[in-house]
Amino acid sequence: MGVADALNGENNRPDYIEEDDWYDILAKAHSAIILCLGDKVLREVARETSAAGVWLKLDSLYMTKSLANRLYLKKKLYSLKMDPGMSVDDHSDEFNKIIIGLENIDVTVEDEDQAILFLSSLPSNYEHFLETLMYGRESLSMEEVMAALNTRELKKKHEEKDDGAEGLFARGKGDQKSAYKKGNQRPKFKGKKVFKCFVCGSEKHFKRDCPEWKKRKGNDYRNHNRRQGSNHGDHEESSEGYESSDVLMVISDESKDGWVMDSGGSYHMTPHKEYFQDLKEEDLGTVKLGDHRPCQVAGHGSVVLKLQNGSRFTLENVRYIPSLKRNLLSLGTLERDGFNVSLKEGKARVIKGSMIVLTGTRKQNNIYILNGNVEKSDVVLITEEGNKQALLWHKRLGHISSQGLIELNKKKVLGNLVSCEVQFCEHCIMGKHKKVKFNQGKHTTKGILDYIHSDLWGPARTESMGGARYFLSLIDDYSRRVWVFMLKHKNEAFARFKEWRILVENQTERKIKKLRTDNGLEFCNSEFNDFCKKHGIGRHLTIPGTPQQNGLAERMNRTLLERLRCMLDGAGMPKKFWAEAVSTTAFLINRSPSRVIENKTPMEIWVGTQPSYQDLRVFGSFCYAHISQGKLEPRAVKCIFLGYSENVKGYRVWRMDESRPKVFVSRNVVFQEHILYGQVLGSNKGKEVLPEVESFDAQLNETESCSTSNAKQESELEPLSYSDAISSVERVKWIKAMEEEMESLEKNDTWDIVDLPAGQKPVACKWLYKIKEGVNTDDPPRYKARLVAKGFTQQAGIDYKEVYSPVVKHSSIRIILSLTAKSLYGLKQSPRQWYKRFDEFVVSNGFTRSEYDSCVYFREYNSQDYLYLFLYVDDMLLACKEQEEINATKRMLMQEFDMKELGKAKKILGMEIKRDMENSYMSKAPYANAVGSLMYLLVCTRPDLRYAVSLVSRYISNPERMHWAAVKWILRYIAGTNSKGLLFGSTGGAASQVEGFVDSDFAKDLDKGRSLTGYMFKVEDSLVSWKAQLQPVVALSTTEAEYIALTEAMKEALWLKRFVSELGIHLLKTVVHCDSQGAVLLSKNVVFHDKTKHILVKLFWIREVISSNEVTVEKIGTQDNPADMFTKVLPGPKFKFCVDSAVVL
């Protein structure tokens, strides 16, 4: 207890420990830790003199929770393999070390995943063990795996203790005595003994006196360090894994099919089942080979040998050992049966009386091989011929399965085919190979919402009627109820999950406990992870590359798609109705019994009552829906049935009128289920009726058919026309949104009521609908409606003359952020076309419009204290250091305009503003996968992408594979740095100055020979402006290229200086740093020469700016110029320096 307290530090002595004992405990703790460390680790902690210091040092070195450490441990875990010579216990220890290391950095690997990973790390000789262990199981735990392995190892050790027959026995020097004790004596040969050297074959000396042997032994000794696993024996280690301590025989490739004449074998042995004339299969125990490896004897029988002289010899009682490597002819067995064996002059003879029965030849490796081969039985020959015929028909029939051959052979259409068994076809392996089936995981959930499975499917090649290309599926593990949501983009998955969570938790009064998904970015992002942590939802992720671990969701998606295809094909409907079919499929799955839930239906478990089936109809069938029209108009319209609506008791039908095709919900429908879509429009497929408004998926979401719940999808939440909005199940919310918009337009006097001039047509208008997320994460979505004019119907010069509406520059926003980074608040007002009125109002109330950005207004309220106002169409941003000034300005604006308070600013011009306790970050969320998306990102908040994106953007009109590869590398870089953004405030930079850096790359454009300009500017050490662009003209020298770049940078410096000064900020200086000595001297030197005559105007202009003291130019070293990242490819350390200098964090 006391020793552990020493880790808290010397000054944290517990009260129950005396002061005299405390120092002894500190010393003991320090010694105890040091004694447990290896030499390498000791060097790392050598300077630490206390136990607490050593412990903290070890924690910082080996317990870090960094991404690099997590990546290292996970990579080590996934790639771990058991070495062939390693024991299971040692391998288990290595595996557990990695698991404990991950747990120490808060990374938990589920028990089932541990078991799967451990089994995957075992070598191939455990394959039979794996099949036996996993047979019939639905789940697997690490404890079960280790118990089975321990049982196998104990059984293996017990079998090795048994004395079985031996073959290919390796008689090493240390084993000879024990071998003889076991009765394995040399065979006794009849007749005169002939002793000869085993090395050179001479009869004049033994092996120990052989000169050749002594020479080899000397070479072996010198090469000992280069030969692994060899003793002082005659030969190198066998490639088949036999030990090399004076091994009796080493087999070469040429003898694999021959019979090795073995003097140490107890029986004749062969691994070839087809060699036997009359094999009797039975368990005859084990035979032990020279490396003490036991092999199972699976039977015995007779084998006929066909000798070189044409005679035949029958081997009786031959053992069948499938795992054996070679055919072994036991000389000891032949001697026992009355044969004499003679080895002389490289020839082996087996003699019976005066007749030579068998002969053998000594090969180069001193192994005697029988002269002859096996004569195969008639049954074997017939079978082989039948297999060849089966393989031929297999190929003729396009690699048909064996079962298919059997069925055709039953019909007697393949001739006299004896066998239908296809032994092996490599083409089938290459073309049909499948992954090993994963066993089904089992979750013992005890209630609904305890465990949720989710997956995203898509993109679909064909867009749905509402423009969706993906669908999100959510499955409750307990009830197996499924919800599906149609998505236009993958990044909508998180919004749909939030809406669904609120819905189901409110309906059931239960909480979601665990969520299992794959590692897709739509699920594994900071926003999704933070949301789950906030609401206590545990995350279970699959191992990368193993979708089988999310088997329930994957299988559900497969079921949805299979039934979708059946429904579309059965009704003869085009693929654009796939979203309708998926939604209906989900609706029906929730009303279908399942064996997993004891043949109950998901809805029965979810609501406790059996659902009704009386209202079900055939998908895609023809029907008549009631409508209310004029008194003399028809009371019904022809429709196609598309599914069900849950919140509204009715059917979703597609109106087939060519004038107004659309989807709506009706409860008064007459069906003709025997007539389907394909029969109605089959003759008109080439000219399908396309809907005027694509709102189909939108209305589906209200039904169980789309989400199988009350949850909604994007296409349903955002109607595309007024008729869609008022027919939607959310019609009350949309009507309220439209009423608010009309009130706002009327209050702001947006229009005047006038008579229509003769001969003129009014400009029509339309409604736009948008669903916006709540200000806070848990807030419900906001329904917005906008009334807009159809501007595309206007004629220039008649309906309008000017259409320009000023928009605030990104640089202006970043400058204000660098000055007032902590106080940002947003306002939102309703109408769109109002800039002129707004400008007149704010100017009349004391604001000054910037001369350099017409959408920036400022007002001085104290000496040198300003309030700033930005305008972007109908978005406003207020920035000020005093909250009271902001509140007063808001009250003034709200008295004049209809505005809504949005609280602290979170987004402006697509840029997201994040706050923490110390700094405010402005970062742009990454876009999808195209250069156009990257362009906006680099313009807003990612200057580090400027050079790379400028390169790939040059080929946007005609890209090739290498250009697309480059774009993907940029996206990978963004994925790894998606939290980066610009830092404003609290950077400790130079106060009140505009500082710029400029660089150029001469003749960078190989096609046109133009140079590249790059510059960046910082205000109060916060980056506010940057640029990387090809120069408009061809420079004739590096100095000229640098001078052209310097000219562009000076223009930007002047604009920034004057804009900042106009805002009331006193600047100490404005400086531009250039790393070209020639350009810097040229900008200050009045000497003129012919080489600079063509850039005379630029010379005079820059010198005039410098002489006026508005901007100064200073030389900077190339290694210190951060603008290099805009003009060239940089090594890692230099690129990091440039990014850090730009304050991209």
Residue 994's pLDDT is what? 86
- Element holding 156 (H helix, E strand): helix 142-161
Residue 962's pLDDT is what? 80
- Element holding 1048 (H helix, E strand): helix 1038-1062
CA-to-CA distance for 249 and 261, rounded, in angstroms? 10
CA-to-CA distance for 454 and 552, rounded, in angstroms? 9
Q: What average pLDDT does this structure show over 812-833?
A: 51
Whole-angstrom CA distances from 735 to 312, 721, 740, 750, 787 are 101, 13, 9, 20, 13
Binned at pLDDT 50, 70 and 90, residue 810 comes out as low
For residue 125, give the DSSP letter.
G
The superfamily CATH assigns to domain 987-1141 is Ribonuclease H-like superfamily/Ribonuclease H (3.30.420.10)
pLDDT at 887 over 80: yes
pLDDT at 925 over 50: no
Residue 482's pLDDT is what? 94
The sign of the CA dihedral 998, 1001, 1003, 1005 is negative
Q: Burial-class residue 574 by CB neighbours within 10 Å (0-12, 13-18, 19+).
A: middle
Least confident of 38-52, 252-266, 521-535, 754-768: 252-266
Q: What average pLDDT does this structure show over 956-972?
A: 79
Tell me which amino acid residue 497 is: F
Binned at pLDDT 50, 70 and 90, residue 1064 comes out as confident
Q: What average pLDDT does this structure show over 844-863?
A: 83
pLDDT at 973 over 80: yes
Residue 834's pLDDT is what? 61
Q: Which residue has the higher pLDDT, 657 or 1093?
A: 657
> Could you report the per-residue pLDDT of 581-629, keeping only the tens digit for each?
999 889 888 888 888 888 788 988 888 888 887 788 888 888 999 888 7
Residue 194's pLDDT is what? 53
Least confident of 110-124, 462-476, 994-1008: 994-1008
Least confident of 302-306, 855-859, 861-865: 861-865
User: Is domain 810-924 annotated with CATH 3.30.310?
Assistant: yes
DSSP SS3 for 465: coil
Degrees to nearest 5, angle at CA 1042 with 1040 and 1043: 60
CA-to-CA distance for 177 and 164, rounded, in angstroms? 18
CATH of 252-376 given 1.20.1440, 3.40.50, 2.40.50, 2.40.70: 2.40.70
Residue 1011's pLDDT is what? 87
Q: Which residue has the higher pLDDT, 1068 or 825?
A: 1068
Residue 706's pLDDT is what? 35
Residue 927's pLDDT is what? 28
Q: Which residue has the higher pLDDT, 871 or 302?
A: 302
> Could you report the per-residue pLDDT of 407-420, keeping only the tens digit for each?
666 766 666 666 66
Q: Note whether 247 and 175 are within 8 A (CB).
A: no
Q: Which residue has the higher pLDDT, 316 or 58?
A: 316
Q: Which residue has the higher pLDDT, 84 or 572?
A: 572
pLDDT > 70: what percent of the chain? 70
Q: Which residue has the higher pLDDT, 186 or 1062?
A: 1062
Q: Which residue has the higher pLDDT, 8 or 268?
A: 268
Q: What average pLDDT does this structure show over 922-938?
A: 54
Contacts for 959-965: CB closer than 8 Å, 24+ residues apart: none
Tell me which amino acid residue 637 is: V
CA-to-CA distance for 853 and 864, rounded, in angstroms? 20
pLDDT > 90: what percent of the chain? 7
Residue 711's pLDDT is what? 33
Q: Note whether 1004 and 1044 are within 8 A (CB).
A: no
CATH of domain 451-614+686-716: 3.30.420.10
CA-to-CA distance for 882 and 896, rounded, in angstroms? 22
CA-to-CA distance for 576 and 557, rounded, in angstroms? 18
DSSP SS3 for 932: helix
pLDDT at 237 over 70: no
Average pLDDT in the chain: 74
Residue 819's pLDDT is what? 59
DSSP SS3 for 1021: coil
CA-to-CA distance for 589 and 557, rounded, in angstroms? 12
> Could you report the per-residue pLDDT of 133-172, keeping only the tens digit for each?
877 777 888 888 888 888 887 777 666 554 444 444 333 3
Q: What average pLDDT does this structure show over 335-359?
A: 85
Residue 946's pLDDT is what? 80
Q: Which residue has the higher pLDDT, 879 or 66?
A: 879
Spacing of C-alpha 947 from chain mean position: 27
580: which 2 tokens?
Answer: 């309708």
pLDDT at 400 over 70: no
**DSSP conformation letters of 747-758:** HTT-----PPPT
pLDDT at 474 over 90: yes
**DSSP conformation letters of 515-567:** EEE-S-TTTSSHHHHHHHHHTT-EEEEPPTT-GGGGHHHHHHHHHHHHHHHHH
CA-to-CA distance for 1052 and 1060, rounded, in angstroms? 12
CA-to-CA distance for 1130 and 1125, rounded, in angstroms? 7
Residue 487's pLDDT is what? 93
Q: Which residue has the higher pLDDT, 496 or 3?
A: 496
Residue 926's pLDDT is what? 34
Residue 471's pLDDT is what? 93
Of 636, 645, 773, 739, which is closest to residue 698 (Cα–Cα)?
A: 645
Q: Note whether 605 and 597 are within 8 A (CB).
A: yes
Residue 495's pLDDT is what? 92
Q: Note whether 675 and 621 are within 8 A (CB).
A: yes
Residue 530's pLDDT is what? 92
pLDDT at 519 over 80: yes
Residue 166's pLDDT is what? 42
Q: What average pLDDT does this structure show over 747-762?
A: 75
CA-to-CA distance for 723 and 398, rounded, in angstroms? 56
Highest-confidence range of 33-37, 73-77, 84-88, 494-498, by mean pLDDT? 494-498
CB-based contacts of 698, cutoff 8 Å, min separation 6: 466, 713, 715, 716, 717, 718, 719, 720, 724, 728
Q: Which residue has the higher pLDDT, 367 or 426?
A: 367
> Could you report the per-residue pLDDT of 666-714, keeping only the tens digit for each?
888 999 888 888 887 754 443 333 333 333 333 333 333 333 333 333 3
173, 178, 183, 184 alpha-carbon torsion, rounded to 10°: -30
pLDDT at 358 over 50: yes
pLDDT at 173 over 50: no
pLDDT at 1095 over 70: no
Q: Note whether 526 and 979 are within 8 A (CB).
A: yes
Binned at pLDDT 50, 70 and 90, residue 433 comes out as low
Binned at pLDDT 50, 70 and 90, residue 857 comes out as confident
Q: What average pLDDT does this structure show over 573-583?
A: 89
Q: Note whether 716 and 699 are within 8 A (CB).
A: yes
Rounded to a whole number of angstroms, the CA Rg of the chain reads: 42
Residue 961's pLDDT is what? 75
Active-site annotation, residues: 262
Whole-angstrom CA distances from 499 to 107, 494, 504, 707, 747 are 29, 9, 9, 11, 34
pLDDT at 233 over 70: no
Of 481, 460, 246, which is closest to residue 366 (Cα–Cα)?
A: 246
Pairing outcome for strands 865-872 and 782-789: unpaired
pLDDT at 807 over 70: no
411: which 2 tokens?
Answer: 């019909």
> First CA to last CA across the chain, in angstroms?
45
